[in-house]
Structure 1
Amino acid sequence: MGGSKSKMVIMFVLLLIILEGGWSEGCLDHERFALLRLKHFFDDTGSYLYNWGDGEGATDCCQWE
């Protein structure tokens, strides 16, 4: 019975990781390019989209704010 309970806990933890996106490798190139094209249509006078770019460390558009 103890083995069954630990298997359930492991399955639950794995499910949480998957649902949280813990195994995501970032956004796809076509998604990033599409967002960069849309950026020009926004009025960003406050520079809120400063981290949207192609620079080093900014290639994962899933992390852009």
Structure 2
Amino acid sequence: GAWREMRETWNRQKDDPDYKFNTPLPPSAHPAVTEVSMVTEGDEAEPIATSIGDLAPDALA
């Protein structure tokens, strides 16, 4: 399960610190939020709602 994937990723990152695990979504998947603009309140974005901090992949950071 998930722990096996995490352990494999952790072990691989020991040898290759730049390695990042990413699970691609199937073509039929429809993410609920695809843009920061979809998670705004009024004219200002909610920082907590629009950020997952250090967990964000480079493509989203």
Query: Could you tell me the TM-score, scaled by structure 1's length?
Result: 0.23
Which structure has more helix as a fraction of its residues? 1
Q: Of the two structures, which has the highest relative contact order with CA contacts closer than 8 Å and spacing of 6 or more? A: 1
Which structure has more strand as a fraction of its residues? 2
